Amino acid sequence: MSDQRNLIIAIALSLAILLGFQYFWETPRQQQQQQQHAENQATQGTDGSMIPTAPNAAGGAGTGAVGTLPGAPGITAVPGAANALASRDAALKQSPRVAVNGTRLGGSIALKGARIDDLTLLDYKARIDDDSPAVTLLSPRGAANPYFSQFGWVPVGELTVPDGDSLWQADRPSLVPSRPLTLSWDNGDGVRFIQVIEIDDAFMLTVTQRVENNSGQAISIHPFGRISRTHTPDTLGFYILHEGPLAVFNDTLKEVDYDDLQESPTDATKSVGGWIGITDKYWLAALIPDQKEPFAGTFRYSQPNKQDTYQADFLTQAPQVIVPGATAQTISHVFAGAKEVHLLDKYETQLGIARFDLAVDFGWFYFLTKPLFFILDYFFKLLGNFGLAILLLTVCIKAVFFPLANKSYKAMSKMKALQPEMTKLRERFGDDRTKMNQEMMGLYKREKVNPAAGCLPVVVQIPVFFALYKVMFVTIEMRHQPFFGWIQDLSAPDPMYIFTLFGAIPWDLPQFLMIGIWPVFMGASMYLQQLLNPQPADPVQAKIFLFMPLFFTFLLGSFPAGLVIYWTWNNVLSITQQWVIMKRMGVPIKSK
């Protein structure tokens, strides 16, 4: 009995850990903010700026430490921002602006500092409500959570370059597709700095940095680009999803968590090809340097005005040496938008961006997850409903595993048919476990039954289930997609909570009680499936296994509704298949 008691205690502790993990460890961890400065991460001036590292004399990249580079633009904290932040509208008025009138992007560019700091995704709503505003991705300094992109130059030697307060001149009042915007700034010593900004019909901007040297001496500069984000955003905290700084250096994905960056700096990484940025679950802001020129990419953290500030930047490794009368330029891109799989693939092909599709966190099972997405997306385009696409994909998966599942269900049916004999053996040798196990092994051998055969299909399907979970959880294509009835967003949990009587009782539920109707359907289907399976030899273990459907009902209450629908439908198909096999073999459905 001690083994049974220990097993029950272990199950209870596991349940307590799973339900309490998010409340007693993960949530407090996300709320903690580190208050240390990493001196080798950035050098901050009086304006709180973080300046990209200039390569050393030997041409190598720095290691995250930066020197004082007078006049170089940086991430500037707004004076007094720690005490009172201006509203977004007031922050937008702090600089003259050029409107951005893209097909899918709207907003403006600040002429002060030439910041791309006001972008809204026109065809994505923040909520599913009809009156919901569009998703705001980038915000200016002075707003609640500044988030912007900026390009500039790091000089070699004495040279005045534009900084965060420089006021640029624009050649037109707005940026629209097929009509580039030209920004210019003159340093007063014969050197003119130009940024030509273009926008396509989606979320990609092209930035051409040009320097005209009309002075009497040669100059050397390093073009750079950066993305700055102030305030640590709320993240979901799931292990399977990365949110925060990320990059592809030398065809290798690098992901850095916000808290890890706070605790320790990262070294600059040399690369030819690749990109660097900051990602949310569905949105991405990323810099794409010239894919043929070597650059150094760096993630940085600082606290100007006691505000958490994160930066992803790149700096070209080879300096541009511009003789008098000459012009030099470099072309980069900045992506600011939704992580649509097909769109990222298109940019990867058209612009030659190394592994740009890795911005979507397809995970370790990339080779399985991405093809599953394409199949699901094809079914969606065929049927016009992602829920129906999930049901059809489930049928296809069941068809692929049909031969293996058939053998498994036949084995389990034989096991169920032997349960009367197994019961007799337990009654006869219950006090002698060794003898009972020997007799049972003999029974399996005589009847040619493999007790482990029923587990094989489950083991094989685990990667498929996990990959499908990733598809439904991380891809934006599922966001705000309805099924039927009350399911209006397959990427969100079922909102029809049974413990509020489906909305009739307006009270706030703790997380583990937010159980919708579909998780209940799933639990019921799991229970019915267990009734068809052979029961464990130990009656206490049998009761524990019958408790598992209830456990999974609570566990899946917070899962995307699309995944719960998949699991429920998969159980229904499995029950049907197993029931037919048992009827053909003459195995009683209900155990004696």
Please indicate, yes or no, whether residues 350 and 375 belong to a single structural domain of this protein: no
Residues 6+ apart with CB under 8 A from 591: 416, 419, 534, 535
Amino acid letter, 300: R
Domain-ending residue, one of 327, 361, 395: 361
In a domain, 20, yes or no: no
Higher pLDDT pick, 256 / 552: 256
Q: What is the mean pLDDT of residues 430-453?
A: 73
Please indicate, yes or no, whether residues 215 and 250 belong to a single structural domain of this protein: yes
Q: Which residues share a beta bridge with 284?
A: 279, 337
Handedness of CA 544, 545, 547, 553 (dihedral sign): positive
Domain-ending residue, one of 328, 361, 394: 361
Please indicate, yes or no, whether residues 300 and 280 belong to a single structural domain of this protein: yes
Please indicate, yes or no, whether residues 248 and 336 belong to a single structural domain of this protein: yes
In a domain, 260, yes or no: yes
Structural contact between residues 498 and 557, judged by C-beta atoms closer than 8 angstroms: no
Range(s) of the domain holding residue 436: 370-585
Please indicate, yes or no, whether residues 357 and 383 belong to a single structural domain of this protein: no
In a domain, 417, yes or no: yes
Angstrom distance (rounded) from CA 338 to CA 121: 8
Angstrom distance (rounded) from CA 386 to CA 466: 18
Other CB atoms closer than 10 Å to residue 453's CB: what's the count? 17
Of the listed ranges 6-10, 235-239, 516-520, the least confidently predicted one is 6-10
> pLDDT confidence of 528, banded at 50, 70, 90?
confident
pLDDT score at 583: 74
Q: Which residues share a beta bridge with 356?
A: none
Number of folded domains that form the chain: 2
Q: What is the mean pLDDT of residues 555-579?
A: 85
Query: Within the chain, what is the greatest distance between any pair of CA atoms?
Result: 104
pLDDT score at 453: 60
Tens-place pLDDT, residues 450-489: 666 656 666 777 788 788 888 888 899 988 889 988 888 8
Structural contact between residues 209 and 314, judged by C-beta atoms closer than 8 angstroms: no
Long-range contacts of 119-123 (CB under 8 A, 24+ apart): 119/336, 121/203, 121/283, 121/337, 121/338
Please indicate, yes or no, whether residues 329 and 382 belong to a single structural domain of this protein: no
In a domain, 550, yes or no: yes
Please indicate, yes or no, whether residues 138 and 72 belong to a single structural domain of this protein: yes
Angstrom distance (rounded) from CA 48 to CA 51: 10
The CA angle 478-482-487, to the nearest 5 degrees, is 115
The CA angle 339-261-225, to the nearest 5 degrees, is 55
Please indicate, yes or no, whether residues 74 and 204 belong to a single structural domain of this protein: yes
Residues 6+ apart with CB under 8 A from 428: 436, 439
Higher pLDDT pick, 275 / 453: 275
Please indicate, yes or no, whether residues 420 and 547 belong to a single structural domain of this protein: yes
Our measurement of the distance from residue 317's CA atom to the centroid of its chain's CA atoms, rounded to an integer in Å, reads 30
> H or E stretch including 330?
strand 327-338
pLDDT score at 314: 97
pTM over 0.85: no
Our measurement of the distance from residue 190's CA atom to the centroid of its chain's CA atoms, rounded to an integer in Å, reads 46
In a domain, 276, yes or no: yes
Structural contact between residues 304 and 77, judged by C-beta atoms closer than 8 angstroms: yes
The CA–CA distances, whole Å, from 334 to 184, 305, 337, 355 equal: 19, 27, 10, 15
Angstrom distance (rounded) from CA 378 to CA 112: 46
Pairing verdict, β 309-316 and 105-110:
unpaired
Higher pLDDT pick, 76 / 574: 574
pLDDT score at 282: 95
Structural contact between residues 98 and 114, judged by C-beta atoms closer than 8 angstroms: no
Structural contact between residues 575 and 485, judged by C-beta atoms closer than 8 angstroms: no
Query: Tokens 């309805």 belong to which residue?
Result: 482
Please indicate, yes or no, whether residues 238 and 304 belong to a single structural domain of this protein: yes
In a domain, 592, yes or no: no
Q: What is the mean pLDDT of residues 66-82?
A: 38
In a domain, 5, yes or no: no
Angstrom distance (rounded) from CA 66 to CA 68: 7
pLDDT score at 464: 81
Amino acid letter, 316: T
pLDDT score at 79: 40
Please indicate, yes or no, whether residues 379 and 312 belong to a single structural domain of this protein: no
Backbone φ/ψ region at 245: left (φ over 0), alpha (ψ -120 to 50), beta: beta
pLDDT score at 68: 31
pLDDT score at 551: 84
Residue 17 has pLDDT above 80, yes or no: no
Angstrom distance (rounded) from CA 177 to CA 202: 9
pLDDT score at 161: 95
Residues 6+ apart with CB under 8 A from 238: 473
User: Count of alpha carbons within 13 Å of 352, Cβ hemisphere only?
Assistant: 8
Tens-place pLDDT, residues 167-217: 999 999 999 999 999 999 999 999 999 999 999 999 999 999 999 999 999
Of the listed ranges 46-55, 436-445, 508-517, the least confidently predicted one is 46-55
In a domain, 7, yes or no: no
Give me the numbers of helices (H) and strands (E) for the chain, helices first please.
14, 20
Angstrom distance (rounded) from CA 30 to CA 335: 27
Domain-ending residue, one of 311, 330, 361: 361
Higher pLDDT pick, 535 / 301: 301
Structure tokens at 25: 């460890």
Angstrom distance (rounded) from CA 47 to CA 70: 12
Higher pLDDT pick, 547 / 106: 106
Q: What is the mean pLDDT of residues 6-11?
A: 44
> pLDDT confidence of 273, banded at 50, 70, 90?
very high
Higher pLDDT pick, 557 / 315: 315
Residue 521 has pLDDT above 60, yes or no: yes
Sheet holding 327-338, edge to edge: 169-170, 181-186, 191-199, 204-213, 327-338, 283-288, 274-279, 244-249, 252-255
Structural contact between residues 532 and 576, judged by C-beta atoms closer than 8 angstroms: no
Q: What is the mean pLDDT of residues 326-334?
A: 97
Of the listed ranges 58-72, 271-285, 368-382, 489-503, the least confidently predicted one is 58-72
Angstrom distance (rounded) from CA 507 to CA 80: 39
Structural contact between residues 312 and 226, judged by C-beta atoms closer than 8 angstroms: yes
Please indicate, yes or no, whether residues 160 and 290 belong to a single structural domain of this protein: yes
Residues 6+ apart with CB under 8 A from 239: none
Structural contact between residues 574 and 581, judged by C-beta atoms closer than 8 angstroms: no
Q: What is the mean pLDDT of residues 421-439?
A: 74
Residue 277 has pLDDT above 90, yes or no: yes
CATH number at residue 68: 2.70.98.90
Other CB atoms closer than 10 Å to residue 305's CB: what's the count? 14
pLDDT score at 2: 37
For 451-467, give the DSSP string: TTGGGHHHHHHHHHHHH
* Environment class of 13 (CB within 10 Å of its CB; exposed 0-12, middle 13-18, buried 19+): exposed
pLDDT score at 156: 92
For 69-118, give the DSSP string: -TT-----PPTTTTT-PPPHHHHHTTS-EEEEE-SSEEEEEETBTTEEEE
Structural contact between residues 110 and 55, judged by C-beta atoms closer than 8 angstroms: no
Residues 6+ apart with CB under 8 A from 20: none
DSSP assignment letter at 324: T
The CA–CA distances, whole Å, from 372 to 283, 286, 463, 464 equal: 21, 26, 12, 9
The CA angle 406-411-417, to the nearest 5 degrees, is 125
